[in-house]
Amino acid sequence: MTGMTQWSLSPLPVLLAALVLHELVAPANADEFSVTDHRRQTIYHSPQKPGFTSWVGACTMPDGSLMISFTQATGPTEGRPQAPKEIQQRLAWPPAGHPGYDMTGLDLCNVYIRSTDSGKTWQPASADAFKSCMNGVTNEAQVALGDGTILRGVFGFYLPYDKDLPQTGFVQRSLDGTKTWGKAELPLDSAKYSTWPRRIRVLGDGRIVLLAGVTQAPAGSQTRPEFSKAVEPALLVSSDSGRTWKGPVAAIPASQRGGWTEEFDVAELASGDLLCIFRRADDTKRWQNILKKKDESWLAQQAGPSVLPHSGQPELLATREGPILHLATSGIHWTSDAGQNWHKVDVPGTAYYPRSVQAKDGTIYVFGHIGGDDAYGKVDQSIVMDSFRLARQDISIANPKAMPPDKLACERIPLGAADDYKPCIAQLPSGELLLTAFHQYQRGGGKVLEQTLLFRSADGGRTWSDPQSLDLLGREPYLTVLKNGTIFITGHLLADDVRNKWGYTTGFLHRSMDGGRTWNSTRVESEQLKPKASNHTARNVLELTDGSLLLGVDYDGGGGPYLVWRSTDGGLTWDKAQKCSPQDFKSQYGFFGGETWLWQARSGKIWALVRVDSNEMPIKDRPIKAGNDQADHFILYSSADGGKSFDRSRDFGDYGEMYMSLLRLQDKRLLLTFTVRDLHPPLGVRALVGNESDDGFMFDFAHDRLILDDRTPLGKSQGGGFGPTVQLQDGTLVTSYSFRGDDDKTHLEVVRWKLPAVAPK
């Protein structure tokens, strides 16, 4: 950046530097991710010991609760009957010399348990009994649909004692939370195919894919070894919630047929392609390939060995943070480039045959069983749950001096819809977070309608409500929350908005005393002061130490008038008469209305962080010819008389840096958050940590610049906005911002992050 200097505001000395500096950041590496908050706990044990609980399935329900299932066996370890010889030969079971694997005569059931408190406690949901000599027939293939329907895949070939069931793979559905199950539904013609369902996945377009091992042989016509020798991994696709299926779609090209198993998994890429991981019949590595999307289907690309070690049935999870996880007893790996590179995270491997889900708040849950493919009664099995969060290591620190050189971990949470713009975040005394933004709709004839949106988060920004469309006038809504919880939103209604009946851009102040559920609005009027002149307010309402409120108001066109509204009753009424005299300020734009942000020092001095036009009021000794307002910059003004007058102090920051705000941190330091809008890409939100004096503050713009957001791609126009920050009770910082994506639309995100425990010098 140019002109990054360290400013120390009275009474500290001011350091000036005529240097041209740039954000010196290490070259961007591939995405980096790590695991945080990892925990393992046992969540279920059989009523007898040693327990037999194996082959877990997992899904998240529409209400956010967790549902898992597993096979449970109870009964004597000795003296049980064996399967008839014909069945033993057809299923090649039990394995030669291991009669304990024969489950005939045991009480077998599919157990379902559910948690409504993020896995802390679990309640029984159901248990449906079955009879088999095999040690599992279902559970791994299951999914919950948006209407609460649960689909599960069953391998009917492993149910030889039930002659009424198809001796091939079928699907069942439950409409009552697993208490009852419907009839067997065949995804493929059993006269032509034999199938073994392994996974059920829901795609981004709502379609369902059933992953199965498939042979071109009628159901029941093969022995288990014959099935295994001929099986090929394939996909079946449904567009009607699993009632009808198309396929099979080969997951392996014809030139590579042979040597596969039924065990594979897929994860959907942003392109609609599918990343596939396979277990081979005789190989010490996973194999992988890509299924390229073609119309409504996919074409299998050449498969090859990956760096992932062998570990039973593959398990993939496409995370909301972007990377795809591969979870196995041998470790957890991630990829952000469709499997070209895999990176191992520093946590233990999972339990056996894991199943994973990600909750709405970003927590990843992995379920499996202790033990392995064990004979009954030989190992004390139990069901365990790993939980963790995925952190992105991508907050860079430019020109580190007091800060560490390493990137900081963070969580990024998208919200809203494409073309939502300029989010502002605030925290209520209860801890609930509010976030405002707006969305512009074109109405023809040069007219627009700009809708104010309000989002809520009860968990520190990890999850957000759907937006509430507020019946409030004005664009660029900016939040202020008082100590008692009163909420203000400032904004201005464009003259071209279809709801504007006054004929000029007019400012608004909206107030709520019930957490943002009802509002009262005050319009800034021009009629009596400067007819038809556009008017604006300062961005924030300043709550002074004496409890009174201050709001800057002014009018475009040059010369003001500049007003300071005051309230001594929490904003219920305002004294609008006091004029303000900003010294050494001359602009066609307002002193407050240029997005000024107000702050009070410990001494009582009031600071105004004022955005100015860089052609009218250039940085001292560094004039530029700005082509648009994206090159604006900030100047600091201070008032020692309660806002009646403001004296110009110094330039603050560089050209193209704006939307500034200050936050007092729990450790008594200050955080300055601002947005780089132009001139020095990458564009996005920056932050500096500074120190507070009695009269002001000190920030070093030349060092330790935290790059909180650089999501706008190089070559794209600005899309950044606001970027204020709140601090949670545990010290976590939550910053909101908007960026312009590859689709040339603006998008909203918040980033959760923490400062390193080192104070700037």
Q: Which H, E and C letters describe 129-165, residue by residue?
A: EECCCCCCCCCCCEEECCCCCEEEEEEHHHCCCCCCC
256 phi, psi to nearest 5 deg:
-115, 20
Length of the chain: 761
The Cβ of residue 181 has, within 10 Å, a number of other Cβ atoms equal to 18
* Calpha distance 114→96 (Å, rounded): 38
Task: Look at residue 31 in the predicted model and tell me its pLDDT.
Answer: 65
Average of per-residue pLDDT across 213-232: 97
How does 183-210 read in b/e, with b if 16+ C-beta sit within 10 Å?
Answer: ebbbbbebeebbbbbbbbbbeeeebbbb
pLDDT per residue over 412-433, tens digit each?
Answer: 999 999 999 999 999 999 999 9
Q: Does 352 have pLDDT greater than 80?
A: yes
pLDDT per residue over 615-647, tens digit each?
Answer: 999 999 999 998 899 999 999 999 999 999 999
Residue % of the chain over a pLDDT of 90: 90
* Calpha distance 525→589 (Å, rounded): 17
Cβ atoms of residues 707 and 396 within 8 Å:
yes
Average of per-residue pLDDT across 727-747: 96
* Calpha distance 750→685 (Å, rounded): 11
pLDDT per residue over 304-325, tens digit each?
Answer: 999 999 899 999 999 999 999 9
Q: What share of the chain is helix, strand, coil (3-state, %, to 5)?
A: 5, 45, 50
DSSP secondary structure string for all residues of 89-126: HHHT-SPTT-GGG--TTSEEEEEEEEESSTTSS-EEEE
The Cβ of residue 439 has, within 10 Å, a number of other Cβ atoms equal to 19
Strand partners, 612: 633
Helix (H, G, I), strand (E, B) or coil at 450: strand
Cβ atoms of residues 615 and 603 within 8 Å:
no
Q: Name the token pair of 476.
A: 């660029």
Q: Which domains does the chain have, with CATH numbers?
A: 6-24+399-753 (2.120.10.10), 33-75+89-393 (2.120.10.10)
556 phi, psi to nearest 5 deg:
-75, 165
Task: Look at residue 380 in the predicted model and tell me its pLDDT.
Answer: 98
* Calpha distance 590→613 (Å, rounded): 10
Q: Does 125 have pLDDT greater than 60?
A: yes
Q: What is the DSSP letter of 312?
A: S
Q: Which amino acid is at 240?
A: D
Cβ atoms of residues 130 and 137 within 8 Å:
yes
Helix (H, G, I), strand (E, B) or coil at 629: helix
Helix (H, G, I), strand (E, B) or coil at 750: strand
Residue % of the chain over a pLDDT of 70: 95
Q: Does 757 have pLDDT greater than 90?
A: no
Task: Look at residue 678 in the predicted model and tell me its pLDDT.
Answer: 84
**pTM given for the model:** 0.87
Q: Which amino acid is at 356?
A: S
Task: Look at residue 29 in the predicted model and tell me its pLDDT.
Answer: 44
Q: Does 7 have pLDDT greater than 90?
A: no
Q: Is beta strand 645-652 parallel, antiparallel or unpaired with respect to 581-582?
A: parallel
pLDDT per residue over 473-531, tens digit each?
Answer: 999 999 999 999 999 999 999 999 999 999 999 999 999 999 999 999 999 999 999 99
At 284, is the pLDDT very low, low, confident or very high (cuts 50, 70, 90)? Answer: confident
Task: Look at residue 684 in the predicted model and tell me its pLDDT.
Answer: 94
At 649, is the pLDDT very low, low, confident or very high (cuts 50, 70, 90)? Answer: very high
* Calpha distance 195→29 (Å, rounded): 43
The pLDDT mean for the chain works out to 93
Cβ atoms of residues 747 and 415 within 8 Å:
no
Average of per-residue pLDDT across 272-286: 94
Q: Does 21 have pLDDT greater than 60?
A: no
At 80, is the pLDDT very low, low, confident or very high (cuts 50, 70, 90)? Answer: very high
Cβ atoms of residues 288 and 273 within 8 Å:
no
Locus of tokens 């969060």? 389
Calculate ∠ Cα 282-286-287, nearest 5°.
95
Task: Look at residue 8 in the predicted model and tell me its pLDDT.
Answer: 31
The Cβ of residue 305 has, within 10 Å, a number of other Cβ atoms equal to 13
* Calpha distance 122→137 (Å, rounded): 23
The Cβ of residue 67 has, within 10 Å, a number of other Cβ atoms equal to 21
Burial-class residue 527 by CB neighbours within 10 Å (0-12, 13-18, 19+): exposed
At 26, is the pLDDT very low, low, confident or very high (cuts 50, 70, 90)? Answer: very low
Q: Name the token pair of 76.
A: 């004597």
The Cβ of residue 225 has, within 10 Å, a number of other Cβ atoms equal to 12
- Which residue did the predictor score with more confidence, 548 or 16? 548
Task: Look at residue 260 in the predicted model and tell me its pLDDT.
Answer: 97
Cα dihedral sign, 592-519-439-671: positive
Q: What is the DSSP letter of 569?
A: S
Average of per-residue pLDDT across 156-160: 97
Q: Outline where DSSP puts E strands in 329-461.
A: 331-335, 343-344, 352-358, 364-369, 383-398, 408-415, 420-427, 433-444, 447-457
Q: How far is CA 281 from CA 214, 259, 284, 608, in A?
A: 15, 5, 9, 70
At 720, is the pLDDT very low, low, confident or very high (cuts 50, 70, 90)? Answer: confident
Q: Does 2 have pLDDT greater than 50?
A: no
Q: What is the DSSP letter of 185?
A: B
Q: Does 759 have pLDDT greater than 60?
A: no
Average of per-residue pLDDT across 350-372: 97
